[in-house]
Chains A and B, each alone.
Chain A
C-alpha cells in the first residue's frame, strides 16, 4: 500500500470513551435520570428487586471476570435464587465448541497446548484469523511454521493469517460442513483413515462413511467454491501428517448450526487419530480472557462447577451437601433463551455482571427492546455501558484483571493468577463483595476472607481443579486442568486415554457426529445480494468499551469493507458513506476496499457500535444446541446515498 492510500485510512472521528463508574446509581422509574446513591440504598433496592421475582430471575455472569467471581455468581443463582438460569457471553461465541467437544469427548476444553503447535507437522486454521484476533497464539503457530510445519487457512477472507499459509481455501460463508465432509470422504477413499484408531476409540464410523459418501470433491467444489485439487491437498496433508493440529475460532461457531460445524471438524480428528497425542489435537481459540473459566466454574445453565452435569444425581447431591441447598434437577435457561423469556414475560428480573448484551447480541435492537420489558434490571460494571443505561440499579465494580486477586483460565486450559495492581476508583467494590452483600440481604451469610478462600472452596468440589493451590499456580506460572493431584502434573494434552489398549482405561468411545449441511438462514437473493460476515480487527475488542480508550494508530473506525469489483459495480469509492441494509435493520457506513474479499462478500466489525451498530444487521438465528447466533452470515444490500456524501474530512 502506498503512502497516499495509507493517509486516507483514517477519518476524523470522535470515538466514544467511557469513564469509570465511581458511585452506585439508582432511579425509581426508567423515565427518570439516574441519581447517585449510597451502597446501602443501592444494595437494598437491588436485593428487593431481585427478591420480588424469585422464579423469574436470570443471572448474566461475566466471561471477563475471575474464576472466583464466576463461582460465587453461579452459587448466588443456584443457592440464593434457586435457579440454574445463569450464563455468560460464551453463548455468543464459543458455546458450540464446548457443546461439540463434550459430545465427542465428554469434556469441553481444547485438547492441546500452545507449545505443542510448535512441534506439529500440519496446522489447519479454520475460520480463524488468529494473526489479528489471537496474536500471541499465532506466534506459537509461526514458530511451528519456522520449524517446518505446513499451515492451511480455511476462511472466506484471505486474512493476514492466510498470508502465512501453504494454501488458502477461500470457501463460501456457511459451507464448512460440505468442506469437512469432502475432506473426510477423500481421506476414506484414499485409504488414509486411521483404521486401528477408529475401531478402538470411536463409534459410528459406518454411519459417518455413508454420510460423507455423497460429498465428492467436485460437488464440494460447486458448493464451497474451493477448487477440488485444493481440498484434496488439504485432506492428504492432514491425514498423512504424523501430528496435526486443527484450530478454529468464531468462523466455525457463530453460525445457526455452530455445534454441527464443530462436530464436522472433530470428525476429521477421529478419522485420522489426530487427538489425544502430543502435537495432535483440537484447539478452539477462545475470545475472552475467561470464557473457558466461566464455564468451568459452572456459570452456565447445564453444568455445576468442574464441568459436572446437573442431570447427574450424584453430582447434585455432592453440591447440595456442600452448599446446604436443593439444586433444581433440570437445566436452566441459556442467555439466548433468557432473552426469549423476557419477550414472553416469564423472565422479569436480571442481574447482569460485566456484560454488554445491548450491543453484543445479534439483532441488537431486539435485545434492547427485550431488556426494556424487564421489570427489574441490576447491572454491575466498571462503566455506564449501553446495557447499564437500561438498568434500575447500577453497581460500580472493579476491573477483574488489574484491580482484583483471583485466577482466569485461558484457551489451553491453563489457570493463571490475576493480581491487584491498582486501587479501584471512588467507591467501586469487588464483584465478590457485592454478590456476598446481596446474598446476605437475601438470607445467606457467606464469609470469604479473600479470593483464595473462594478458590479453595471450588477446589473442594471440583476434582479437576483440586491440585491447583495458589502456591502451585505461582510456582508453575499457571497449571492446566485437569489437575486432580497436589503433587503431580497431567500431560499437556487431553484424551490420551483414547490410545489405551485396555478398554476399561480407554473409557467412553468418541462418537462421530452425524451432521448435515444446512446453509445460512439469511439467504442472499436479488434484494439482498451481498453476504456480510463479521470479525475482529487487531487493535480493537468486541464492543470497544475498553479498547476505545487507547489511541491506536491503526484504528480507523467502522467501515463496510468490499472487494474492488463490488465497489466498482456499485460505483462507490473509499470513504463514501453508503446505506447498508439487511432484513432486520439499516445503518450508514463508509466504504473501505479490501482485496482480501471476493465479489459478493462484505466485512464489518462490532468494535464501534456507537458509530455504526453492525449488530442491527446481524440475524438472531440461533444454534439449537448451543444458542449461538449466526453473526457470520447476514444478507445485505449496499445503496448509494441520495446525495453522495464522500466524507470530506478524510486525511
Chain B
C-alpha cells in the first residue's frame, strides 16, 4: 500500500516536471519569435536612434558617425544575429543611449552601458509596484467575489459588479486622473507624484506607490472578482453543497470551507494572468504617475529607437506572461486532485 502511494507521488511529480519542462521549452521558442517580431517592428518605424537623438541638429555626418559607432550601418539581419548570439550567452547588449554617451566622453563607461544594468533598478521598481498591487488587489477581489456569491443578485452584488466592470472598462489614465482628483487634489491624502528613488524608506515608498497601486487594483479587480463569483456560484448547485447546507452550516461557511477549495483552480488561473498584466500593463500608469519603472523606460526607449533596451523590455514582458501562465497551470494541477492523480 505504502509502495503504491510512493509510486503514485513519483508519477505525479514526473508528470508535473514533464509539463514544466515542455512549457519552458515552448516558452523559449515564444521568446525567440517575440524577439524577431519586436526587432522587425522597431526597424519598420521611421527614423532610427541617430536621427532621434540628434533631432533638429542632425547633420548627415553626425548621423553617419553615430550609426557607425553603434553598428547601425550594418544590415538588420546581421544586427539581429549579433544581438541573438549575445542574448543566448546572457549578454543583452549595450543601450544605444548609454553607448553613444560613452563615445562622447571618449572613455569606456564599463558596465553602466549594459542593458541589464540599466533595466535592473527599473525592473525592481516595477516588481515592487506589482507586489503592492497584488497584495491589495488579490485579497480584495477574492473577498468581493465571495461576498458577491454569498449575496448574489442582491443590491450589493449588483453594485460590486457595476463598480468593477465600469472600472475595468475605463482607460487606465482616466482612472488614474479620477484617483488623483479625489485623493490628491480635492482631499490631499496621497501624493500624485510617485517619484520613488533609491535609498527611500519603506514607509515613504509605500505611500508614494499607493496611488498607482490603487489604479492598477481598479483595473485588475473585475476579472478576479467575477471569476471567483462565477466559480463559486457554479458549485453551489452541486449535491455536496446541498448536503452541507442540509447539515445546517452557515452560508458563509459553506462557501469558504466547501465551495472555495474546489473553485480555486479557475481563480488561480485568473489571478496569475492578472499578475502578468501588472508587470506588462503598467506602461500608462507609470507614465501618468512618473513612476520610474520599466514601463517608463520602455516608452522612453521606443521614442529614441533604443533597440537593445526595447528588446530586453519586451523579453521581460513576454517572459512574465509565459512564467505566470505556467505557474497558473501548475497551480491548477496541484489544486485539482483529478489532475494530480491521472488514471
* Chains A and B form a bound pair: no
Which residues does B use to contact A, with CB under 8 Å?
none
